Amino acid sequence: MSLTTPLRGVVPPVCTPLDSRGEVDTASLARLVEHLVDGGVHGLFALGSTSEVAYLTDEQRATALRTVVEATAGRVPVLAGVIDTTTARVIHHAEAAAGLGADALVATAPFYTRTHPEEIAGHFRKLRATVDLPLFAYDIPVAVHSKLSAALVRELAEDGTLAGLKDSSGDEGGLRRLLVELGGRGGRGVGPAPGFSVLTGSELTVDAALLAGADGVVPGIGNVDPAGYVRLYEATLTGDWTLAAQEQERLVELFGMVDVGPEADMGRSSSALGSFKAALQLLGVIECGATAFPQIPLSAGAVAEVGRHLRAAGLSPVR
């Protein structure tokens, strides 16, 4: 499905189910896609941070993306993360993603190396010029340790390099400034970059981002409860901000599951992604809740706590 612009709505970053040997469980992944599309989502983001893309080999990335594209079967657009340290390596992934049928690409600034706004601009421009797919910038300082400035994003939006931004920076004030510069609530679609899409990755403040004029959301915990985010999004379309906020509050409570793994024992990725996958297993969507090595598995007690979070949010574990 080709991307209509600007991309709007709920676009979950699809988890990558793994089997007990650590390989991509394509049957579970296809079921997860069905779970998400059934939930009413407006797009899928494969190979994002939540997919454990940083843990997947090139072959595993290809398997995951191919499975998502095939299972989606054009019902919604599929965005593909092309996550690597610098331009030449990212282009390699971008060409692979294009070959596998991705509808758009999502790339971060260079990482590992010490970079600069001029270099980041060159990076995005070269990517766009080399692989002919709409390109989203992925602003995720917690992973790449630099922040895309509003000025840089705006420049690349206005000159057509970027089709959109996935903002996982957590800098809601900065995002608001960018949205206002792009035309604000009224002016999006007619402002200086009319087709440009702003998606927030801040899944706890989606009502707020949509009130501010963002186009959509990429919620990690949307893997678990896609229909909840769709209800939230739809409430905002009708201007029912109170309903949107109530739905957001329920999702905030559900999100509490990311802390089930003790910080003394494991990294925040192990705990958060582990809880999402445990929830999907408990809900019967995927077969096995394992995260990729060397992440630390959740204990049985932690998984039980995930189950309590599900029930408290009105979701029904089947295991």
Nearer to its own copies, 44 or 214 (CB): 214
Q: Please tell me whether residue 282 adopts helix, strand or coil conformation.
A: helix
Nearer to its own copies, 37 or 315 (CB): 315
Answer for which of 31, 176, 188, 309 binds its own copies (CB under 8 A) is 176
Segment interacting with its own copies (CB under 8 A) among 153-161, 260-268, 278-286, 307-315: 260-268
Residues with Cβ within 8 Å of 206's Cβ and at least 6 positions away in sequence, in order, are 200, 217, 219, 229, 232, 233, 244, 248, 251
> 80 has which bridge partners?
46, 105
Q: Please tell me whether residue 137 adopts helix, strand or coil conformation.
A: strand
Is residue 301 a contact residue for its own copies (CB under 8 A)? Answer: no
Residue 66 C-alpha from the chain's centroid? 17
Is residue 269 a contact residue for its own copies (CB under 8 A)? Answer: yes
Is residue 252 a contact residue for its own copies (CB under 8 A)? Answer: yes
Q: How far apart, in whole angstroms, are the C-alpha atoms of residue 73 and residue 128?
A: 25
Instruction: Give me the least distance between CB of 192 and its own copies, in Å please.
Output: 14
- Taking the CB of residue 140, how many other CB atoms lie within 10 A of it? 23
Is residue 190 a contact residue for its own copies (CB under 8 A)? Answer: no
Is residue 54 a contact residue for its own copies (CB under 8 A)? Answer: yes
DSSP H/E element including 29: helix 26-38
Instruction: Give me the least distance between CB of 213 and its own copies, in Å please.
Output: 8
Segment interacting with its own copies (CB under 8 A) among 7-15, 275-283, 289-297, 301-309: 289-297
Nearer to its own copies, 161 or 205 (CB): 205
Nearer to its own copies, 267 or 317 (CB): 267
Is residue 62 a contact residue for its own copies (CB under 8 A)? Answer: no
Site for its own copies in 207-226 (CB under 8 A): 207-209, 211-213
Query: Strand 78-81 relative to strand 9-10: parallel, antiparallel, unpaired?
Result: unpaired
Instruction: Give me the least distance between CB of 244 and its own copies, in Å please.
Output: 8
> 78 has which bridge partners?
44
Instruction: Give me the least distance between CB of 151 and its own copies, in Å please.
Output: 10
Instruction: Give me the least distance between CB of 113 and its own copies, in Å please.
Output: 5
Is residue 56 a contact residue for its own copies (CB under 8 A)? Answer: yes
Q: Please check whether residue 137 is in contact with residue 161, taking contact to mean a CB–CB distance below 8 angstroms.
A: no
Amino acid (1-letter code) at residue 8: R
Q: How far apart, in whole angstroms, are the C-alpha atoms of residue 138 and residue 150?
A: 13
Is residue 308 a contact residue for its own copies (CB under 8 A)? Answer: no
Segment interacting with its own copies (CB under 8 A) among 96-104, 152-160, 203-211, 297-305: 203-211
Site for its own copies in 113-172 (CB under 8 A): 113-116, 118-120, 122-123, 126, 142-145, 170-172
Instruction: Give me the least distance between CB of 64 and its own copies, in Å please.
Output: 13
Find the farthest-apart pair of alpha carbons in the chain and give their distance in angstroms, rounded: 52
- Taking the CB of residue 116, how many other CB atoms lie within 10 A of it? 12
Where do runs of H (alpha helix) occur along the chain? 26-38, 58-72, 87-99, 117-130, 141-144, 150-158, 172-181, 184-187, 206-211, 226-237, 241-255, 268-282, 300-312
- Using alpha carbons, select from 84, 10, 37, 29 the residue that is nearest to residue 94: 84
Instruction: Give me the least distance between CB of 132 and its own copies, in Å please.
Output: 19
Q: How far apart, in whole angstroms, are the C-alpha atoms of residue 264 and residue 306?
A: 19
Nearer to its own copies, 233 or 285 (CB): 233
